[in-house]
Structure 1
């Protein structure tokens, strides 16, 4: 679909401090924002709801899990699917200067293969936007951590921000490379179906042995595939899936935290609180307060 819109310019000076050329927010998109372009790079992640994303002269439907890499000069705007409040479109935005990205490649990603840098550097040089789709819950925890660290400004937060953005770029690159013609689409689809099943049955997830049997592979093979495509072990993925389900419940209801934990299979509150803070960086009560 081709469209024409009036476009405004949004300078990074509105967001950046001299010592902090990076900014993170979480916004409920509306129909008030105009299509705009900017002099910084933006990574946008759809965390909740559905709607449309207008990029340059293109309109794309979006829903939870969609992610976009927008170089300098690319114009865009998000729109929710309707005016109804229940159809909120919630988007995380992580923006930074081109110079900051160059430094990140030099400091954090110097050991990466050349083709990793090429994907993003060519996009910035050509002002060509990139789109990605979350498949295994790899993007949302990173954006939640980015948002918290940026908002809290605790000691060492810049180091964590750099690490989270570097990890995010790695996952974005993997998602592109994993679905090239050379990749085994059938195997990836089977693995994806398994991970979706695990995330949908958090209260009583299957064991590693049972999961491997579903794919007709060995436990060792499943472990290797999970590490390659999610960066996590089987147990780590299960834990992240459970905590992600808890986060969704904490956003949407007022049940006791112990009841929320029990609903995804955690009875030991000391362990649950420790694990929740380890994954999200904050306690369950802090998370609820921040997102309500």
Structure 2
């Protein structure tokens, strides 16, 4: 089955949801012909993933979950996750990334509609991780969203907002009908698309990224960039880059036949000795031992 593409990165889409505002950072569709290595978003964002086709495995906070057609899952604040595709049946995925602006307030003195929206918003922001089979027919909405963003007929922007709102409602209905395990999290006010820029930069350019280049990309000073990383992730730029490099190294060790020396070079280390020392300090074992214990079957 062919699925129409979606690639919304720069639309200014903000959806009121009770006392909160959902700021849609991007909506995308794609196929996983190779696995997507381990990474985590900050405590600033949520990602809705819907798999209409294909098979694979989700590794979330160390736990493995099988993925098949019609799987729906949410990866929210600080949920470390990796998507391993089945090369014989690659996963297709619709993904919506959004940040939540505002604070949840009490339900007193609200209309029925306001109470309903506030209750749904509370469930969304307090569910950092959930996985299950979609029971709410979300695929037709994604297909309609793809049609609207591709054709862009008059009124399409309003249609896009309405469709995404319906997708969030159906997400919450999936949670409640399938009895999710909720874990309270602290709601924080989120910023703009700088969050996506930071995470994509470390995810894709861990070997070469510099503090100055990241600052230039964000439109901030070096000092502001350091301060932003510290407040969002609790680490410095150097620590964040090292985490990203080590995560990539662990992925390469477990999933590729690449030599340890080549992995050291690929992840930005000048010497094999420095790479091995850094890796052992973080993981407690040498890169070769890690490969032996974590190699995918």
Task: Classify the TM-score, shorter chain.
Answer: 0.3 to 0.5
> Which structure is richer in relative contact order (CA contacts within 8 A, separation 6 or more)?
2
Q: Give the TM-score normalised by structure 2.
A: 0.44
Q: Give the TM-score normalised by structure 1.
A: 0.45
